[in-house]
Chains A and B, each alone.
Chain A
Amino acid sequence: MGDLLAGLHAARIDADRAAALAARVRWRLSATEDRLRRTREVADVVAARHFAAAIHPIGPGRCPARGRRLPDRAFGGGTDRPVVAAPTDHSMAAPTDRSVAALDGEPAAPPRHASHDSAADHDSVNDRASVAGSAEVIACGCQAASALVTRRGRLTGPRAHRRALTMVRERRW
């Protein structure tokens, strides 16, 4: 019984460490993405650097692609050093980036979808977004938002800890 409790305790500590590490990596990725998106306005760059410095005391600035917007898939791998990918998707082909257009106050181009990954989904959603404000588009957005909120509830709700312990138990014994 003592070994069992000790194992559970160790597993819980490991899970807490992993969660903290994952959160830290997400923060770094967010900071890196923000910094890369803001290359036209000095104030934006300064603000993003302040933010990045606040969450990464060592100081980032190691990205080899400063000044370029990277596709989303370049921000993978769990580190804060993005892999520069070839500009094959349509987001890179646009002469004026949507983020820059938004910062400049220009009307934004149809954005990416919120919760799907495939190119087909992106295309279909962009088609829907072309009629922004329609009931169908609003319903699609509400369903995507509801999925995010539900997912967060599952991850942070009162049952999350119990579920994590159950997973640990099934894996160890």
Chain B
Amino acid sequence: MVTGPQAALRGLLAGRLRGHERRLSRFAESDWLRYADLLAGALLVAVRRRFVAGQDRALVIRFVASVRERYDATGRDVDPVLAEALVWAALGERPPVPPDTAAIVARTVLLLGLLEDEGLTDRELDEILVAASHAADDSTHGTNRPQTGAPVESDRQ
């Protein structure tokens, strides 16, 4: 069963932006929280597919610059230091970054950049989303945050 937040994230990663925004517009508060957890989990998985702990800093800097080249048309939309901190946090080399507005933006474009570079198939994308869901469940296991989200049909057909 695919929940609303998961379907919304999948729509974003698959390039179905209208469906993604339509789902976002229906989100309740718990859905937003779950979506943020899924986004963080997906970034965690995607970063660890590409980078390793102890990674050369230049590669991370270059990757962040490439993402900003793709998505940051004004030069102010994605904070490079914050984006790098998110990558290092996903590798366990920096403290976690709180999910504020800029961090959500940076997480989203970093995730899109990582997955775009990999050129994933639909099946691989689903595997990442499943792994992200597990990571999100693990990260929220010790908190009281509700794991909710109205079940909806998958938008894959």
If A72-B76, A115-B77, A141-B101 touch, does A146 touch B17 (CB 8 Å cutoff)?
A: yes
Name which of A4-12, A13-21, A40-48, A58-66 contacts chain B. Answer: A40-48
Within 8 Å by CB of A129, from B101, B109, B112, lies B101
Q: Quick one: closest A residue to B72, CB to CB? A: A148
Q: B20 — which chain A residues lie within 8 A by C-beta?
A: 146
Partner among B80, B85, B100, B109 whose Cβ is within 8 Å of the Cβ of A34: B80
Shortest beta-carbon distance from B74 to chain A in Å: 8
- Could you say which residues of chain A place their CB within 8 Å of the CB of B29? 135
Contact B24 A138 (CB under 8 A): no
Whole-angstrom distance between the alpha carbons of A140 and B24 in the complex? 11
A residues contacting the other copy or chain, number (CB 8 A): 55
Question: Chain A nearest CB: distance from B35 CB in Å?
Answer: 7
- Inter-chain CA distance A31–B66, complex, in Å, is 11
The answer on a CB contact under 8 Å between A108 and B82 is yes
A70 at the interface (CB under 8 A from B): no
| Known pairs A51-B58, A148-B105; A23 contacts B69 (CB<8 A) | yes
**A87 near B: Cβ within 8 Å?**
no
Q: How many residues in B have their beta carbons less than 8 Å from beta carbons of A?
A: 52
Residues of B close to A148: CB separation below 8 A: 71-73, 77-78, 105, 108-109
CB < 8 Å neighbour of A132 from B62, B103, B108: B103
A26 within 8 A of B: yes
CB of B58 within 8 A of CB of A111, answer: no
Q: Do B109 and A151 touch across chains, with their CB atoms under 8 A apart?
A: no
Which residue of chain B lies nearest to A153 when distances are taken between CB atoms in the complex? B17
Check B100–A37 contact: CB distance below 8 A. Answer: no
Contact A34 B17 (CB under 8 A): no
B27 close to A (CB within 8 Å): yes
Given A30-B75, A102-B82, do A141 and B103 touch, yes or no (CB 8 Å)? yes
Determine if A111 and B82 form an interchain contact, defined as CB atoms under 8 angstroms apart: yes
Contact of A149 with B101 in the complex, beta carbons under 8 Å: no
Among B30, B70, B85, the residue within 8 A (CB) of A102 is B85
Known pairs A51-B65, A103-B81, A111-B82; A132 contacts B98 (CB<8 A): yes
Provided the pairs A108-B97, A133-B99, A148-B72 are in contact, do residues A98 and B105 lie with their beta carbons within 8 angstroms?
Answer: no
Pair B104/A47 contact, Cβ less than 8 Å = no
Chain B 1-28: CB-based contact to A (< 8 A → 1; otherwise 0)? 0000000000010010100110010010
**A145, B109: Cβ atoms closer than 8 Å:** yes
Q: How far is the CB of A37 from chain B (nearest CB, A)?
A: 6
Known: A135-B32, A137-B101. 4 other contacts (CB 8 A): A54-B62, A113-B101, A117-B74, A141-B104
Residues on A lying within 8 angstroms of B by beta carbon are 23, 26-27, 29-31, 33-34, 37, 43-44, 47-48, 50-51, 54, 72, 75, 98-99, 102-103, 105, 107-108, 110-115, 117, 125, 128-129, 132-133, 135, 137-146, 148-153, 155
